[in-house]
Amino acid sequence: MRDIFECMDANGLLRHSHMLSGYTPSAAALQVVGSIVDRLREINPELIYLLDPVCGDDGKLYVAEEVIPLYKQLLTKATLTTPNQFEAELFVSRKITTLATLRLALSDFHKTYGLPNVLISSCEIPRSDLRDFTFPEAIEGEKFLVCAGSSRTEEAEKSFIILLPRYEEHFEGVGDTFSALTLAHFDQEYAAHPISALAQTAETVLASLGAITDTTRQAALLATRTDSTISLVPSPDETPSARISRLRAMELKLVQSQEAILRPSIKYRAQAL
């Protein structure tokens, strides 16, 4: 990995304006990522670096413990990070169980790492904590998730949440798509949105992602009609062959959703914290 980027540098090919890093389970590789960020920022001080700190979910780590301190170092270099709830809790050493702890966690990222922008892709907050917020009609019962973000400037912290419907199915690749679209849409100079540029970005990304998952879900449901052995919801006793069938059925339909990626229709609006 280091050789590849040193050769790119030697040939004058490190002229990027944006960089994204994601799942990197090796500590050695993560150290290289840090050196690449430094070199790109040396060439272009305006580099926008999105760190997706992929290291665990559902209460479990799936990377070596030794990469966690390296991720923390990378957070100090990032323009924007997109952790899930488990990862956010890990990096700020705070459980997110209420709206109050969510606010504190967002602020912790700014204070601890000097990070300008943080976007927690999804977390669970009790409905009772959200009485002052407007729930979209599409959200029924208790099946909803909260996407939360915050941007910090010299003047203030501007935080927000977006309420989203929650599906029972497990979609493979949603986190990667979320981060890629976030980097593609993020514009630090966007000034028209009433909350922040990051809020505008999150609305746009979630609009595309919602359409992608809807298209994927419909295709998967169609697959179950022709093959009754396919289950779209993972179970504790799932066999390897059943898991493969489920993952194939739930693979994101990105090509089929290209119109929604290019021209998303925003459904869920950011609400200021």
- Residue labelled with tokens 């514009």: 187
* Cα 3 to Cα 10, 27, 67, distances in angstroms: 10, 17, 21
* CA angle (85 as vertex; 83, 86 as ends), nearest 5: 95
Per-residue pLDDT 10s for the chain (273 aa) are 999 999 999 999 999 999 999 999 889 999 999 999 999 999 999 999 999 999 988 778 888 889 999 999 999 999 999 999 999 999 999 999 999 999 999 999 999 999 999 999 999 999 999 999 999 887 866 789 999 999 998 778 999 999 999 888 888 889 999 999 999 999 766 667 889 999 999 999 999 999 999 999 998 888 888 888 888 887 888 889 888 888 888 899 999 999 999 999 999 999 999
Q: Helices 85-92 and 67-75, interaxial angle, to 10°?
A: 90
Residue 67 belongs to some domain of the structure:
no
* Helical (H) or strand (E) element with 119: strand 117-123
CATH number at residue 136: 3.40.1190.20
User: 161 and 147 in contact (C-beta within 8 Å)?
Assistant: yes
The answer as to whether 145 is a domain residue is yes
**Residue 41 resides in a domain:** no
The position carrying tokens 């799942």 is 23
Q: Within its chain, how far is the Cα of 244 from the centroid?
A: 24
Query: End-to-end CA distance of the chain, in Å?
Result: 41
Residues of the domain holding 130: 79-272
pTM of the shown model: 0.91
- Residue 70 falls inside a structural domain: no
Is residue 66 assigned to a domain? no
How many angstroms separate the CA atoms of 77 and 49, rounded?
A: 8
Residues 259, 265: Cα–Cα separation, whole Å: 10
Q: Does 125 reside within a domain?
A: yes
Residue 5 lies in a domain: no
Number of domains in the chain: 1
Residue 13 lies in a domain: no
